[in-house]
Amino acid sequence: MANLGERVLAGDIRAASRLIRNLEDGIPDTDLIMKDIFLKTGKSHVIGITGAPGAGKSTLTDELIAAFRKKDRSVGVMAVDPSSPFTGGAILGDRIRMMRHAEDKKVFVRSMASRGNMGGLSKAVGESIHVMDVLGQEVIIVETCGVGQQEVDIINHAHTVIVVLVPGMGDEVQALKAGLMEIADIFVINKADRDGAGKLYKEVLSVIEMSSRNCGGDGWTIPVLMVESVLEPHKFAASVAALGEKIEEHHQYLVANNLIEARIRNKTAAELNEALWASIMQPVLNELNAEGEFEMMVDQLMKRHIDPYTLAREIAGRYMKRSPCGDGSSADQS
């Protein structure tokens, strides 16, 4: 296992892809590899691309890769597609749009299934970003599943969030709603040749003008970029190149104003949470399950012989040096 970490640190793509898979599959002791990797991360600019299914996220990602490669930046891509709630299987098709970069050694694309995660990403995305970071990908693009209004997990992972909209998805009230419409650092109106693009542009602009984030938030004025049809390749490439410039500008803005760390603080806190869960709760649960005790406790609860709160305190008392119950004065510290 340690060998895998060394290979990743030496830039081995195959090892990196395997490590990402171990993270996805929840293979035990992967934390022993990640601990060496974590300390070397934090160099990449992470860009989130989110929007409805079919909005053009993958095609946009492909052209963005090209734009960044023109500037000789190495690019990592994590493209998430949904897992079946019935079979657990998935068709990961984002890559179809990006195949022209397949042989470019400085582009590493990894498809990921959401595996039941509801926020538009896979649970493994956060740690996988670290893997791509340590591989030396200067830019990491995370393309979410096609999302609705409230799958906004991407804000916990990306420095720069791009929300991709297309004309014809509803009236201006849709643009006023909470959730997805609030998280953009940059709006893209894709397929701008279509009817209604101009109207959507105005609606989004008026929402931004009303937004407190724009006026009193981090001070960044959220731009709205029109991206031309992919059927007109030159116009399309030019508008995505402009998007690439805006992305860089946003990154520079975050750096210049010391806002980068605030962006990633939530993610870092969540990582600590998950690590605590994995090292404390998971072993306890494993032990309870191995002895069959967990099911026996459920039986007791079903018969109303005892309540879950007393049981939980009893078990906590077994494992924790300092009792979590105490005299009750610490109840609000949970």
Q: Where along the sequence are the contacts to other proteins (CB under 8 A)?
A: 13-14, 17-18, 20-21, 24-27, 83-84, 87-93, 95-96, 99, 102-103, 108-111, 113
Report how far apart, in Å, the C-alpha atoms of 277 and of each of 15, 106, 322 are.
26, 35, 18
Q: Which helix (H) or strand (E) holds 139?
A: strand 139-146
Closest separation in Å from C-beta 48 to other proteins = 20
Closest separation in Å from C-beta 131 to other proteins = 12
Tokens 């079979």 found at: 87
Tokens 């105005």 found at: 202
| Dihedrals phi, psi of 69, to nearest 5 degrees | -65, -30
**Nearer Cβ to other proteins, position 88 or 148?**
88
**Nearer Cβ to other proteins, position 28 or 326?**
28
Beta carbons within 10 angstroms of residue 293's beta carbon: 13
Closest separation in Å from C-beta 13 to other proteins = 6
**Nearer Cβ to other proteins, position 88 or 326?**
88
**Nearer Cβ to other proteins, position 112 or 208?**
112
Tokens 């650092």 found at: 185
Torsion of CA 142, 143, 145, 151, to 10 degrees: 60
Beta carbons within 10 angstroms of residue 165's beta carbon: 25
The interaxial angle of helices 13-25 and 30-38, nearest 10 deg, is: 120
Determine contact, residues 132/108, Cβ cutoff 8 Å. Answer: yes
What pairing do the DSSP bridges indicate for beta strands 45-51 and 160-165?
parallel
**Nearer Cβ to other proteins, position 7 or 194?**
7
Tokens 């078990």 found at: 315
**Nearer Cβ to other proteins, position 110 or 191?**
110
Q: How far apart are the first and last CA of the chain?
A: 35
Closest separation in Å from C-beta 250 to other proteins = 28
Closest separation in Å from C-beta 95 to other proteins = 6
**Please, which residues have CB within 8 angstroms of residue 310's CB and are 6 or more apart in sequence?**
none
Closest separation in Å from C-beta 93 to other proteins = 5
Closest separation in Å from C-beta 18 to other proteins = 5
**Nearer Cβ to other proteins, position 16 or 208?**
16
